[in-house]
Structure 1
């Protein structure tokens, strides 16, 4: 296994990416091949895979086992949970999420792709674009994943024919562009054999594009969120009350976007109280400025009431607070989401009571048409919802911030996650009708 020095590692950028596709399209095999051929697999890991493969009667190592870690997954031969792997090359560091392909576990793709800058969607060259392919493309579009790769796998089973690849690439690209995906890169591969995964294929000389790894290493990635609206969801109020700092009161959390400066006027939402940053502590040391993803503690000039769930923002760039939220959601629970459903809405570090006032539409994946007012969303449905919250929330549009423009709906009876929502995202849903549901005590 090749080694990378600390200096080389610190100089590389980080790419978070996810894989998705239908069952048996070869996602886990692709990831295993990627790790194996890029020499990112430890010797003992490879020996364990070889041993497990022999126990299953296979002559060659089943590279899918490098990511299918759960016993239930190995027995069923499908990916159930999201498998995260970390590896690096001299050009870039990677965090990959191998997400399930079975329709029953589509909800896990939402988890894996929610922080991804790139998604690889696999298609079996024999089957072409299927409904689950369309669902994964729709989720990638909703989550605003900047880069989508179409990997047409198992080209060895269609004799490496260029027309097969071209037809699938054309159909998928047209569908993805209609969804609003900014760009699609199509690559013909054979994960089992290794064609165009890390090394160029000798049998597909008609293809002149990059391999999967080459594209992952060179795709532009920007982690500069300093231009975004600065947001700090408060996670914890720190009051040590020591002799050295008897009046210390700090507000700790991870900066979701933007940057904060000492002396900057800020507003606390949803209360709307204003103050100014007197100090910023980072890892126990004072700093003058802090930015996105850093976990910091802000100290303010004024002693005002702030608690977990509040949002600290620059006074000049404060979002409006609202109790009425319109969003596009992906329903992930087995139980249906219905009009009048009483839920808990978790936004950032704040959780409030809410009620589903309307479900204006559900997306039909086959032709991207909208089914108006379906009355409910079932598992894996993508639809438009209107929600009324018990308390005002400071929400951004998801197009402005993937962190403060997203939320989840929770079943208050057992804590089950019901729905993942993106504020303001829409597939041009039709005008809603007035909600005629009866008053049930949660009508805020």
Structure 2
């Protein structure tokens, strides 16, 4: 009952919030200082005036109640359209936690197992090869492909230990060239499910499965597994299983005509904008290519709050249960103990990786405040979120600023925790 009451308050607040920034006084809504929350607006203005981002939407909730929800700056590069709280953003990798939740929900139903070999669903991945460095008699190094020691498991997909990569972060030139030549990420062309699987399976893995955390297209592959098990296209399954039950009416894999005027854009001068926006292709029917489970969703702050609050509540919101409490605990545990690699480029130091997001290992050892066990992830377009179950906090930061995304995500978390006083 307590979670349901909190969730109902949250839903009402998302719909009705229309007030300005909190007054600068000593009030402590849900343990946050109103005076300190009021710092967020000026801090965002400084970044906007300084050219870091055109605009942003910031949202903080505690115990299911919104304590801060503001829009800052502008939707467009020319700074002519004021940013609304209902702005729509390309979510990029904030799609990954949603797909991961869908996979764990299928596990709860007994239809999917983390120890299932990927080849059970796609035989093309049965006999994978792995790049191995060799040295000749003159001391020169090269790479050869050798058989992998064990199969890729679904567990590897959801925790990024499959041995896949991204072309932009490939660990060595041979792999970068292979990914780009095959257009694995469907950047240049519309690639079908079948073609994606065929091309990816033909490229040797960067590392032995289960030995190293390497950020990758693994969640895109996981999305295809979810599709196969569910028996329907990924975006349609997510709509039925997560978006509609949680009342996420603005989240989808294709921008609607009524959302187009609210779509946030990055500066045209941002060097990452062109390729990322081309990858997203948010206006396009997702069925024209494999549905990008790792990067394809469009989101709003209010909608993503509902997803994140479900996680914060232990799998339930407004009487709708998506996951069991124990499954949420399982997802928020570190699953890369003892492995090489870490999510530091996204999370900063001090984080491991759970099933779909980064998880904080301890109170210290990080660049920003937080709680042991808090979860966060971020999108390449400039979006990020955090769920701190110890403190009952959900924080959402949405901007269209690919090149400045590390700066802004850490700035927001400093402002969030800097306003928490009890």
**Shared fold by TM > 0.5?**
no
Larger Rg: 1
With the length of structure 2 as denominator, give the TM-score of the two structures: 0.27
Query: Counting strand residues as a fraction of each chain, which structure ranks higher?
Result: 1
Which of the pair has the greater relative contact order for Cα pairs under 8 Å at 6+ separation?
Answer: 2
With the length of structure 1 as denominator, give the TM-score of the two structures: 0.26
